[in-house]
Amino acid sequence: MDWLNLLKKFVEETAIVVFSFEGDRWKRLAESRRGINEFTVALPHDSVGAIKPPTPCLIFCNGDDGDQLYFGLVTSRAPITTLESRIKVRRAVEIQPQSKAALLELVSEQPHSTNLKKRLEQDLPVAMLSAKLGSYLIERLASIDSNQGAMRAVAESLSAPKHFSGSVALQADACQ
């Protein structure tokens, strides 16, 4: 699984961002034009300043239908006001497990379980995971067969070229 090694290596160099949305904010986001698959959100500079796009992300949602967990990619961060930055997330797809408690059960090895629990208990809209914790978490999430498609899509978009030289390159990209 080359895509898994690529994703783990990338996360070891950057990090994983964890977003949390609850209640009405989650409902409005889910009902937006492209839904959770692709969205932008304005967040305070101090909570997103460490994000360096592209960065894989986890999105926890707590709505009327219960908890949900998505895996996606932060593709841009830009200041939009004096106090806030716009974060764009793409390729977000629902994965398993769905709740924070179930994710903590999946991450059972020490010290990773303690570190993840501390980060998730802070109840902040944005949390950054360390490189080692992120790499371990990617490995554990990829061990669930139903998650591999979403994770592979993110990994492949990380290695895709940003610019194409000629129609042959465009056709090769389309075939991939």
Tens digit of pLDDT for each residue in 123-171?
789 999 999 999 999 999 999 999 999 999 999 988 755 555 677 766 7
Average pLDDT, the chain: 90
Q: pLDDT tens, 56-93?
A: 999 999 877 789 999 999 999 999 999 999 999 999 99
Residue pair 74/38 in contact (Cβ under 8 Å)? The answer is no
Q: Report pLDDT for 168.
A: 72
8 Å CB contact between 63 and 90: no
Q: Which two tokens stand for residue 43?
A: 């967040």
Q: Which pLDDT band holds residue 40 (cuts at 50, 70, 90)?
A: very high
| Domains assigned to the chain | 2-175 (3.10.590)
Say what the pTM is: 0.87
pLDDT of residue 1 exceeding 90, the answer is no
pLDDT at 163: 56
Share of the chain above pLDDT 90, in %: 68
Q: Which residues contact 17 (CB under 8 A, 6 or more apart)?
A: 51, 55, 56, 57, 58, 74, 126, 127, 128, 129
Amino acid type, 17: V
pLDDT at 45 exceeding the cut of 90: yes
